[in-house]
Amino acid sequence: MNEISRRQFLDFMGRAAALSLLPACALPSLRGQNTNLPFTPLKPTGADDLILASGLEYKVVTSWGDILNPKQERVGFNNDFLAFIPLDPRSSNEGLLWMNNEYHDPYYTRGWRPGQEYTAADIVKDRKEVGGTIVHLRKREGEWTVVVNSKYNRRLDGFTPIPLISEQPIFGTHRAIGTMGGCAGGVTPWGTILSCEENYHNFVGEVEFLNGKRTHVPAKPYLSWAKGPPLPPEHYGWVVEVDPRTGRAKKLTALGRFAHESATCIQAADGRTVVYSGDDSDQEHLYKFISAKPGSLEKGELFVADIPAGRWRSLAREKDLRLKAFFKNQTELLVRTREAAKMIGATPLNRPEDIDIDPLTRNVFVSCTAGSKGGADIYGSLLKIEEKDADPLSLEFTASTFLAGGPENGFANPDNLLFDPKGNLWMCTDISESKLNTPAFASFANNGLFYIPFSGAHAGKPLQVASAPRGAELTGACFSPDFKTLFLSVQHPGERVHKRPQLESHWPGGGDSVPKPSVVAIRGPTLESLLR
């Protein structure tokens, strides 16, 4: 991206980005006041539809299986993180939509039935369903539509060769094959996408290193690619940076390897980029990366949160004798990030998932979905990190619980977070398929999207604005550059019931159709009023 378009992009990406550079003392007065709510919050519902609060309506923009281009590439399965990158920064009518395609559901993608054996040919199909999709969107007569056959439309999938940006080769090479498990992600200040490889172990298993010996622990059969060519787990669990205009990708190993979820960027005063990321596994950790220089995440320093001490602990091997003694080089340390983090006092958290930053205070909010060994925390909570002096480069912080899930607050299992430019928070919930509508979760009904005002009569209260179809979670919320459209992923509708004709969901087609993960565009006077 040249300097002019980069500057225009920064202007466009937001009021939010600009606000984040204001002095902290100037910030609170800018907070939007929502004393009079422009909508009636939804009551929980088990309906098999995407239900929206008053003054909002949706249109499906694209669904799994839609044809993208003359090569007959198709939109991948289970869209999660979304990012809208404007093609022309001066216009809000055209852009590229990135979606992570986290995983596939073989029942829908290739007619698998419980108990059925997998073949090598099945694995080839599965690898084409995951990764990411770039879709060129344009507004026509006021509606977002896909520009079919656009040169920008493309897929990255389980076969795409992607360089590993690392000092040393990883499992003998600087090239990985494919990406998968992309969950929550991020956008860099220079307009590239950060896709995070979360549950890679479901596809390629994991490696354990005991007494210098490497052992491969295979994936469970359901999503395993073990019947295809061998793929080393060390090549997955990274943050993948993608240029949406070219599809060029690279795996940024300096940000560490774990069940990466979210790579939320903020630009520091000196131009360097700070990236926050969670490791979505029970009792794993929260990380922050500080780039070595502006405009690149290829090099930098990785830190992990020691929450009781309020310190970011460095994972630079050269800075710690324990790390230096244990790992032979920084690349090996990064491959085994979780082990290194534990050695230096990382705090276990209850499944840290998505992260977003309050544009008015620069406080960092982290969804801790649920967890705790023994299952004590079933509803999850939002963790607030206040960096010292509101400086993303600070190595000291204060942590507190901002909001706890549970029947008293009307939500459970927070996952995807999005601050709007007014400094109010949008939160998607992800009650897992095994818990949805069970007795402890019955009061929440289906998963939802909540609006949490930070000021006014409803400050701190989650107000439901959307309810997902049965079995689905809502994810990937992002705004168009003019903030008049909220793009949203409806992921895994109908995931719990693999038995026709009693499918639990027929969204979005209705009737007897199979459910399809889809991206929707939400618009309406309520959105305009909240963001005016």
Residues that bind ligand FEO (CB under 6 A): 102, 183, 198, 261, 280, 353
Per DSSP, the three-state class of 10 is helix
Contacts of residue 342, defined as CB under 8 A and 6 or more positions apart, other chains included, come to none
Nearer Cβ to ligand FEO (219/527): 219
- Interface with Ca ion, residue 183, by CB under 5 A: yes
CA atoms lying within 13 Å on the CB side of residue 527: 20
Residue range at the interface with Ca ion (CB under 5 A); choices 33-41, 349-357, 378-386, 397-405: 349-357
CB of 329 to ligand FEO, least distance (A): 30
CB of 342 to Ca ion, least distance (A): 23
Residues 145 and 136: their CA atoms lie apart, in Å, by 8
Residues 261 and 514: their CA atoms lie apart, in Å, by 29
Residues 55 and 71: their CA atoms lie apart, in Å, by 40
**If contact means CB under 5 to 8 A according to the sort of partner, which of Ca ion, ligand FEO, none does residue 241 touch?**
none
> Residue 4: what are its φ and ψ, rounded to 5°?
-65, -50
Q: Are 519 and 487 in contact (CB under 8 A)?
A: yes
Nearer Cβ to ligand FEO (85/183): 183
Using CB under 5 A, which of 284, 356, 358, 415 touches Ca ion? Answer: 415
CB of 350 to Ca ion, least distance (A): 12
Sign of the alpha-carbon torsion through 103, 105, 108, 112: positive
Nearer Cβ to ligand FEO (237/481): 237
Distances (CA, A) of 165 to 136, 200, 341, 519: 28, 18, 21, 31
Nearer Cβ to ligand FEO (83/137): 83
Nearer Cβ to ligand FEO (441/454): 441
Distances (CA, A) of 99 to 112, 244, 456: 25, 10, 34
Nearer Cβ to ligand FEO (489/526): 489
Residue 58: both structure tokens together: 């949706």
CB of 367 to ligand FEO, least distance (A): 9
- Interface with Ca ion, residue 196, by CB under 5 A: no
Nearer Cβ to ligand FEO (196/274): 196
CB of 429 to ligand FEO, least distance (A): 12
Q: Are 353 and 261 in contact (CB under 8 A)?
A: yes
Per DSSP, the three-state class of 129 is helix
CB of 381 to ligand FEO, least distance (A): 15
- Interface with Ca ion, residue 368, by CB under 5 A: no
**If contact means CB under 5 to 8 A according to the sort of partner, which of ligand FEO, Ca ion, none does residue 198 touch?**
ligand FEO
In angstroms, the first-to-last Cα distance of the chain is 30
CB of 113 to Ca ion, least distance (A): 22
Nearer Cβ to ligand FEO (353/504): 353
CB of 433 to Ca ion, least distance (A): 8
CA atoms lying within 13 Å on the CB side of residue 495: 24
Q: Are 446 and 472 in contact (CB under 8 A)?
A: yes
**If contact means CB under 5 to 8 A according to the sort of partner, which of ligand FEO, Ca ion, none does residue 102 touch?**
ligand FEO
- Interface with Ca ion, residue 105, by CB under 5 A: no
Which amino acid belongs to residue 246? T
CB of 280 to ligand FEO, least distance (A): 4
Q: Are 358 and 419 in contact (CB under 8 A)?
A: yes
**If contact means CB under 5 to 8 A according to the sort of partner, which of ligand FEO, Ca ion, none does residue 66 touch?**
none
Nearer Cβ to Ca ion (202/480): 202
Residue 522: both structure tokens together: 């939400």
Q: Are 87 and 96 in contact (CB under 8 A)?
A: yes
- Interface with Ca ion, residue 430, by CB under 5 A: yes
> Which residues are at the interface with Ca ion (CB under 5 A)?
183, 353, 415, 430, 473
